[in-house]
Chains A and B, each alone.
Chain A
Amino acid sequence: MADVALSRLFFDIQRPEAAAAYRADPEGVRARYGLSPKALAALAADDVAAIAPVVNAYLLRYYFQVRGLTDAEFIARLNAPPLTEVLDG
């Protein structure tokens, strides 16, 4: 099951201006999306593995590119044990 709110955040910040705003104030932008406490915790930890089950894989990659992860870092975190509670939508 998709986490629609989280997916919406990932979708929106594909736009360069939205990505810049997110980089400048991630907590402030997240607060506008009605995200669950588990989602907020996973985002704060850049916990790729915990988020992966509830967001389309392409959007997941885009989001962590905006976060500044290299592809190698992203793949490593995707394959690592989750740091926070795994999201279940």
Chain B
Amino acid sequence: MAEFAGSFAASHGPLIARDWAKLTPEIRARLQAGFDQVAERIVAARPDILLIVSPDHWVNFFITNLPAFCLGIGATHKGPPEPFLADFPHKTIQGHPAFARHLLNHAFADGFDPSLSHELVLDHGFCIPLLRMGLDPLPAIVPLVINDLEPPMPSIKRCLQWGGLIRRAIADFPGTARIAVLGTGGLSHSIGETTMGIVDEKFDHECIAQLRSGDMDGFATWAEAALLRTGNGAHEIRDWAVAHGAAGGVGFELLAYAPTPEVYVGCAFAHWS
């Protein structure tokens, strides 16, 4: 049967690509070091399939049809449409329909009822970590989109449960594939709000402490309350919650924390070993 190869997390944010050349060498180095550490851990984990969890930033979906969860089951996915990612090296990204279908079947059998897509476009949420990590070759990518942008959003508890679901699906997926989970986004940031540009380091440190604690119920309770008090971009910790749930809530290791107002994000990088 397939093998779980670990959970990982990395921030994203348009300015990490769009304004990369404008950042000071020190900031670039600090951010790149975080991505490099995640990349090193992923390479060491040797995943054949990387399930990436990210929001869709109004690329595939609009408010007339907005899934809480959408699984990309296509043989391929399209690369990022954002002009600032024109140099992203993969215009087409290989999927893994067999595992995606297997996970989808598990989801429906377990009462999760996600949406599905045979052809997702993977925006900067998926592709900035891939760009900065420079994984070559890319493992097959199975995208899981979570609505982190428009209320109402899935509960943190549900996202943790998705992690458990993914783990169970890996455990009985035929073959010998190694499958890892990468949550992207977060930690604190605020986009299009009056607090845009402010990094909430208190939120970030509390989030990190909660993830370290291994108490998934405590993390969910804390997050639901804390998300009401910080910027909207922090809702992307739902993607970290999926990674946390896949790891069973244990083994969290913060690889780097780089609060970076220049890119508007409390950037963080993690591995659940």
Contact = CB atoms under 8 A, between A and B. Distances in A.
Interface of A: 2, 4, 7-8, 11, 14-16, 52, 56-62, 71, 74-75, 78-79
B25 interface: no
Interface string B189-211: 00111101100000000000000
A52 B196 CA distance: 13
Interface in B145-184: 149-150
Nearest to B64: A4
A74 B264 CA distance: 14
Interface of B: 57-59, 62-64, 81, 83, 149-150, 191-194, 196-197, 232
Contacts of A8: 62
A56 B194 contact: no
B58 A71 contact: no
B62 A57 contact: no
Given A58-B192, A61-B192, A4 B63 contact: yes
Contact of A56 (B64, B81, B150, B197): B150
A10 B103 CA distance: 34
From A4, A16, A52, A59, residue with most partner B Cβ within 10 Å = A59
Contact of A71 (B57, B149, B196): B196
A57 B63 contact: no
A79 B107 CA distance: 43
A35 B7 CA distance: 46
Contact of A59 (B58, B64, B81, B193): B58
B192 A11 contact: no
A11 to B, nearest CB: 5
